[in-house]
Structure 1
Amino acid sequence: MDLGRRILEQKEVLYAETEDLYEDEVAQLESLPTAFKEGTWSQEDIEWIIEWKVGKAFEKPVLRYFRNNDDAVIRDNIERAVHESNIRTKVESLTSLSGVGVPVASAILLFINPDRFTVIDERAWRVLYETGYLTQELSDDPTVEEYLIYLGACWALSNEYDVSLRALDMALWAFDTEDTITSD
């Protein structure tokens, strides 16, 4: 299977058809960027993002760690991630919160600005690695540096195939491990 605009569009549709939280995700993508910009987001919004990213199997332990953060610290770090211009600083601000690793930080950034950020994920990384867009495998505990490399590759692909970052993200996630991938 070729990694090109046509297959990305097909995989995006597959994502929408198979992802259980797709409708909630679309609704959150419509409302949360404004809430972050205006400072009207809530801790419940952040917890929804965490649940969306980590899934049912891991949400309780991750949320337990996250809830150990002081509310003021959460607000300060999220606001810093919203308003800081440096991506590394944004990610580091988020990952300094208990329970937030780079993958969850990338998910929060997606909902802050879906036109600029995408979610690092082992499935999507594997597709980019197998097609030669990334030259190394993803570590077990993704780093800020890996996210920056991944984000750069996604920006390049988004431009190359003229698809939004969110469409690219959904398509990459929807690739089945049994798909044969080649770059065109």
Structure 2
Amino acid sequence: MDLGRHVLEQQESRYAEEEDLYEEEVARLESLPTAFEEGEWSREDLEWIIEWKVGVFTKPTLKHLRKNGDEEIQARIEEAVHESSIRPKVEALTSLNGIGVPVASAILLFINPNRFTVIDERAWNVLQETGYLSQDLSDDPTVEEYLLYLGACWALANEFDVSLRTLDMALWALDINN
């Protein structure tokens, strides 16, 4: 499979057709970055991101998340919003019960969609098939894997002059359509 700007841009409509929460995703990508920056996000926003990312695993993930106090969640989100380096952002989020690297990457997407994308097995598979990543994704992705993945995504988005969000949607759609 060859990747290119045209191929990537074509996949956005496929993603929109396949992703049940697409309309709300677009709306939240417009509103949540400002809400996070201004500290006006809600627990419902966070729970929606989790539902969007983990689907059928939403209930167990939320059960674990609810073990964290409101102040702890608030502090870790603020840390992720305001920390300048990526590793501490991810580590702040993954220090919360119920939040692993994939969900942390989803939260980061909604904090700043111009800088972050979501680590996903489907997208990883496409990057591996096309030679942009050489290793398999572990069952419990690490911060190091996210940094590797994010670097590959930044390089591809730059190479093909597309947004990270377009790239992410395209990679997801390319895997389910293969």
Question: What range is the shorter-chain TM-score in?
Answer: over 0.9
1:30 aligns with 2:26: no
CA distance in 1, matches of 2:18, 2:63: 28
Question: Deviations along 1:76-103, whole A, 9 cap, x unmatched?
Answer: 0000000000100000000000000000
**TM-score when normalising by structure 1:** 0.95
Query: What CA RMSD, in Å, does the superposition of the two structures yield over aligned residues?
Result: 0.9
Secondary structure of 2:133 counterpart:
coil
Aligned ranges 1:1-184 → 2 under 5 Å: 1-55=1-55, 57-177=56-176, 179=178
CA distance in 2, matches of 1:70, 1:177: 37
CA contact (8 A) 2:123 2:175 kept: no
Identity of aligned residues (%): 75
Aligned length: 178
CA distance in 2, matches of 1:137, 1:41: 35
CA distance in 1, matches of 2:64, 2:127: 31
Tell me how far 1:178 sits from its aligned partner.
5.8
CA distance in 2, matches of 1:78, 1:177: 32
CA distance in 2, matches of 1:29, 1:74: 21
Letter aligned with residue 83 of structure 1: H
- Gaps (5+ residues) in structure 2? none
CA distance in 2, matches of 1:75, 1:87: 18
Secondary structure of 1:176 counterpart:
helix
CA distance in 2, matches of 1:85, 1:62: 27
Deviates more, 1:96-105 or 1:11-20: 11-20
Equivalent in the alignment of 1:182: none
Seen in structure 2, the aligned counterparts of structure 1 residues 63 and 13 have a Cα distance that, compared at 3 Å, is same
CA distance in 2, matches of 1:178, 1:39: 38
CA distance in 1, matches of 2:36, 2:121: 27
Letter aligned with residue 110 of structure 2: F
CA distance in 2, matches of 1:132, 1:18: 25
Over 3 Å off, 4+ runs: none
